[in-house]
Amino acid sequence: MSKKADLTQVTLQAMFADSILIRVSPAEDGFVCSIVENNTDNLPFEKYELVNTISRGMIVKAMKDTSEVFHAGMEALVSENKRKIN
C-alpha cells in the first residue's frame, strides 16, 4: 500500500473510531438493516444523540420508503460515476 493509501486508511479509522454504523444486508424478501455502535462510550451525549437519531431515522426512511431510497441511491451512483468520468 502507498503512503497516501496508508494515510487515508488511518484518517478514516480515526474519523469513524467513535461512530454508529448502519449495515444493510440482502434478505430473502428484500433487505435488512442493523445499527452497530462502535466505541460510542467516548462520545459526548449531544454528539451521541445526533448520530443515534440520524442513523435510526435513516433506517426508518429505508424501511418505509424503500422505493424512494432505492431511486435516490441510483441517482447518487449515476452522479458519482459522472464525476469520475469528467
Looking at residue 85, its pLDDT comes to: 67
pLDDT per residue over 32-64, tens digit each? 999 998 888 888 899 999 999 999 999 999 999
User: Does 86 score more than 60 pLDDT?
Assistant: no
- 19 or 33, which is more confident? 33
Q: For the chain, first and last CA: distance in Å?
A: 26
Using alpha carbons only, what angle is made at residue 31 by residues 21 and 23, rounded to the nearest 5 degrees? 10
Beta carbons within 10 angstroms of residue 57's beta carbon: 10
Measured distance CA(45)–CA(52) in Å, rounded: 10
